[in-house]
Chains A and B, each alone.
Chain A
Amino acid sequence: MKKDWTRIGRIASIVVVLAVAAVAPLVLTGGVAQNLAVLSILYAVVASNWDLTLGYAGIFNFAHVAFFGIGSYVAAIATLQFGVPVWLDLILAVVVVVAVGGLVSALALRLRGIYVALVTFALTQLCVALINSAKDITGGPVGLIGVPDLEIRGFELGSEPHAYFYAAEVLLILSTIAMRWLATSHFGLSLVALRDYEAYAVARGIPARRQRVLAIMASSIPTSLAGCLYAHYLIVASPDVFSFSLTTLLLSMVLVGGAGTIYGPIVAAIVLTVGTEGLHQLGNIRYMIVAVLIVLTLRFLPGGLWSLWTLVPAIRRRRATRVPSPLAEEASS
């Protein structure tokens, strides 16, 4: 009986999500509203993928937002500077980002804890330095403008008002299915095991560095595609994507939404993107509001806003349902 209700609830939520996804682009037609929607969906992809490495695997991986930025730059440079066909740049971006992600994480994961954060964050700084030093190719601090429209089998996404919106939604849905599948597979369980008790996990045959490098490489695939879509949609690749403020915004999505849930960061990405934009007349005060929200969440709801969802069954078996984030524990202890 209880199982039936769980199944009905699951099917109902899938139906609702698909219905909203189908209708939203037709309703949100204004330029500003559509921009905001596409942006929040792309951020949701980045934040929920970051959750696999930050939340489930507990890796202090601060290279993640760089994967998004590199994806956008590969798309822009390949199409604008080298005339690569606009579908091939997607594949190229994935290949480049997965290779960079694998290399950086293989090096960074020789270290531990906070040093992983330092080395991975250095990748972001390295990207900015590269962009500024290779102006001819990257456009320097101004960035690259005029990234061509995304074209799939002769269909230009810009020619149809809802196309990018749907494309972003498809990416988010596919990425979420993939992340949930990974997180609940034995691979995902091994990441949680390594996070919770590494010495025990390796003593049961789990190769620590290999699993973590694979997690980072897997999470970089949808992230790089989000970066590509971002560049094609906005027609620009800008060094702003490597800024510290974007990293903190996306980090707040993961933490406020609930690390180790995948769904939480998606909801938080949409709420925070729309929320900070809706409050834009407040200027910089809105970032203070977000900052206060992060502190309050970590203090009083270390499982993130998504843990509200599971609060009812959690009253019965609290410890079972909560997958705490190592960052949240760090911050609240």
Chain B
Amino acid sequence: MSMQGSRMQTTGSPPLLEVASVGKSFGALAAVADVSFALRERDILGIAGPNGAGKTTLFNLITGTPFFPDSGRVTFRGTRIDRMAPHRIFRLGLARTFQKEASFANLTVEQNVSLGATYGAGLSGRARERAVDAALERLDLSAMRRQPASSLTVYGTKRLMLASAIVVGPKLLMLDEPASGLTASEVADLQSLILGFRDDGMAILLIEHILPLLFGISERVMVMDFGRKLIEGPPSEVARDQRVIDAYLGGQSEAAHALAG
């Protein structure tokens, strides 16, 4: 049923990313079960759900790090990627960030980004320099380029992770709780960055616990619970859905109703 839903939405242009009945179990625990959705170019799809709902596991299944799905198909730009090595998936133009902000701490800021350009896009020489300069400039890291990555703040490290992703000009950016641990003004800055990436032609898949951000920029929101997809639709519709309020929003339902307007 959920598959049908995603197909209906993608009639017209072929989807950029198509996830079909993907599942992954650890022993008796179904971390992700029968999840399907599709994403077109320049889409922003938000993923919400309580802790342990399988959101990050779903990201891991799509990017092949550190494991592949047990069942189902993942297609990106017309290519099956559900058994593809993660470094090849990045080279196809699918870039992700990780929940816990981290960097190659022993390398400089510039080297962190340069590695992405070298191994993700096969750049070298002048072309690499230009791409790295542009990515650093875009994420306001130019002044820190010669500093060790370990010297950055939380938001600085998160921006560095984004810089090493966008340096290759990806088609899809998968962000795993990018706003966690940020101040209100940093969240606002991040929001405009994400919208900017979309305007540059990237599709965005966003896991986020900060609901105003998630509901504010997503064109559609998907809610997961117990490894399954509960609902997918426009933010206003999802926020009003009784199942979502019961399963996830709970005490926050007032806020969700306010958001949904």
Seen from chain A, the residues whose Cβ lies within 8 Å of a Cβ on chain B are 186, 189-190, 192-193, 196-197, 199-208, 317, 319-320, 323-324
Q: Residue B106 at the A interface, CB < 8 A?
A: yes
Q: How far is the CB of B27 from chain A (nearest CB, A)?
A: 20
Question: Which residues of chain B come closer than 8 Å to A186, judged between CB atoms?
Answer: 114-115, 118-119
Whether the pair B104, A205 counts as a contact (CB closer than 8 A) is no
Those of B131-164 within 8 Å (CB) of chain A: 147-148, 150-151, 161, 164
Question: Which residues of chain A come closer than 8 Å to B66, judged between CB atoms?
Answer: 199
Closest-by-CB residue of A relative to B118 is A186
Whether the pair B150, A192 counts as a contact (CB closer than 8 A) is no
Those of B96-113 within 8 Å (CB) of chain A: 96, 98, 102-107, 111-112
Whether the pair A190, B115 counts as a contact (CB closer than 8 A) is yes
Q: How far is the CB of A124 from chain B (nearest CB, A)?
A: 30
Whether the pair A196, B87 counts as a contact (CB closer than 8 A) is no
A-B pairs with beta carbons under 8 Å apart, 15 shown: A189-B104, A190-B119, A193-B107, A199-B66, A202-B65, A203-B65, A203-B90, A203-B96, A204-B115, A205-B118, A205-B120, A207-B85, A207-B87, A320-B147, A320-B151
Whether the pair A196, B104 counts as a contact (CB closer than 8 A) is yes
Whether the pair A319, B164 counts as a contact (CB closer than 8 A) is no
Closest-by-CB residue of A relative to B66 is A199
Candidates B103, B151, B168; contact of A205 at CB < 8 Å: B168
Closest-by-CB residue of A relative to B104 is A193
Q: Residue B222 at the A interface, CB < 8 A?
A: no
Candidates B87, B95, B111; contact of A206 at CB < 8 Å: B87
Question: Which residues of chain B come closer than 8 Å to A203, judged between CB atoms?
Answer: 63, 65, 86-87, 90, 95-96, 98
Closest-by-CB residue of A relative to B65 is A199
Closest-by-CB residue of A relative to B114 is A186
Q: How far is the CB of A327 from chain B (nearest CB, A)?
A: 15
Whether the pair A319, B150 counts as a contact (CB closer than 8 A) is yes
Q: How many A-B residue pairs have CB under 8 A?
A: 85
Q: How far is the CB of A325 from chain B (nearest CB, A)?
A: 11
Question: Which residues of chain A come closer than 8 Å to B147, judged between CB atoms?
Answer: 320
Q: How far is the CB of A246 from chain B (nearest CB, A)?
A: 30
Q: Mark B73-107, 1 if CB is under 8 A from A, else 0.
A: 00000000000011100110001101000111111
Q: Residue B116 at the A interface, CB < 8 A?
A: yes
Whether the pair B95, A196 counts as a contact (CB closer than 8 A) is no
Whether the pair A319, B148 counts as a contact (CB closer than 8 A) is yes
In whole angstroms, how far apart are the Cα atoms of A324 and B150 in the complex?
A: 13
A320-B86 CB under 8 A given contacts A186-B118, A205-B116 = no
In whole angstroms, how far apart are the Cα atoms of A202 and B148 in the complex?
A: 20
In whole angstroms, how far apart are the Cα atoms of A203 and B112 in the complex?
A: 12
Question: Which residues of chain B come closer than 8 Å to A192, judged between CB atoms?
Answer: 104, 106-107
Whether the pair B90, A204 counts as a contact (CB closer than 8 A) is yes
In whole angstroms, how far apart are the Cα atoms of A330 and B106 in the complex?
A: 17
In whole angstroms, how far apart are the Cα atoms of A277 and B86 in the complex?
A: 50
Whether the pair B116, A204 counts as a contact (CB closer than 8 A) is yes
Q: How far is the CB of A265 from chain B (nearest CB, A)?
A: 18
Q: Residue B38 at the A interface, CB < 8 A?
A: no
Whether the pair A204, B164 counts as a contact (CB closer than 8 A) is yes
In whole angstroms, how far apart are the Cα atoms of A323 and B107 in the complex?
A: 9
Q: Residue B165 at the A interface, CB < 8 A?
A: yes
Closest-by-CB residue of A relative to B161 is A200
Whether the pair B115, A189 counts as a contact (CB closer than 8 A) is yes
Question: Which residues of chain B come closer than 8 Å to A208, judged between CB atoms?
Answer: 87
Whether the pair A320, B148 counts as a contact (CB closer than 8 A) is yes
Q: How far is the CB of B41 from chain A (nearest CB, A)?
A: 21
A206-B105 CB under 8 A given contacts A199-B66, A317-B148, A319-B148 = no
Whether the pair A320, B102 counts as a contact (CB closer than 8 A) is no
Closest-by-CB residue of B relative to A319 is B150
Q: How far is the CB of A314 from chain B (nearest CB, A)?
A: 12
8 new A-B contacts, CB < 8 A, other than A192-B104, A193-B115, are A189-B111, A189-B115, A192-B107, A196-B106, A197-B104, A203-B98, A206-B87, A206-B115
Whether the pair A200, B102 counts as a contact (CB closer than 8 A) is yes
In whole angstroms, how far apart are the Cα atoms of A202 and B104 in the complex?
A: 12
Question: Which residues of chain A come closer than 8 Å to B98, judged between CB atoms?
Answer: 199-200, 203
Question: Which residues of chain A come closer than 8 Å to B103, judged between CB atoms?
Answer: 197, 200
Those of B175-233 within 8 Å (CB) of chain A: none
Q: How far is the CB of B253 from chain A (nearest CB, A)?
A: 36
Whether the pair B150, A320 counts as a contact (CB closer than 8 A) is yes
Question: Which residues of chain B come closer than 8 Å to A201, judged between CB atoms?
Answer: 104, 115
Candidates A199, A205, A320, A323; contact of B119 at CB < 8 Å: A205
Q: How far is the CB of B101 from chain A (nearest CB, A)?
A: 10
Q: How far is the CB of B72 from chain A (nearest CB, A)?
A: 21
Q: Mark B47-78, 1 if CB is under 8 A from A, else 0.
A: 00000000000000001011000000000000
Whether the pair A205, B148 counts as a contact (CB closer than 8 A) is no
In whole angstroms, how far apart are the Cα atoms of A69 and B150 in the complex?
A: 40
Q: How far is the CB of B112 from chain A (nearest CB, A)?
A: 8
Q: How far is the CB of B118 from chain A (nearest CB, A)?
A: 5
Candidates B87, B107, B112, B168; contact of A202 at CB < 8 Å: B87
Closest-by-CB residue of A relative to B120 is A205
Residue with the greatest number of chain B CB neighbours at <10 A, chosen from A200, A205, A208, A320 = A205
Whether the pair A204, B107 counts as a contact (CB closer than 8 A) is no
Question: Which residues of chain B come closer than 8 Å to A320, judged between CB atoms?
Answer: 147-148, 150-151
A205-B91 CB under 8 A given contacts A196-B105, A200-B98 = yes
In whole angstroms, how far apart are the Cα atoms of A201 and B86 in the complex?
A: 10
Whether the pair B105, A205 counts as a contact (CB closer than 8 A) is no
Question: Which residues of chain A come closer than 8 Å to B87, judged between CB atoms?
Answer: 202-208
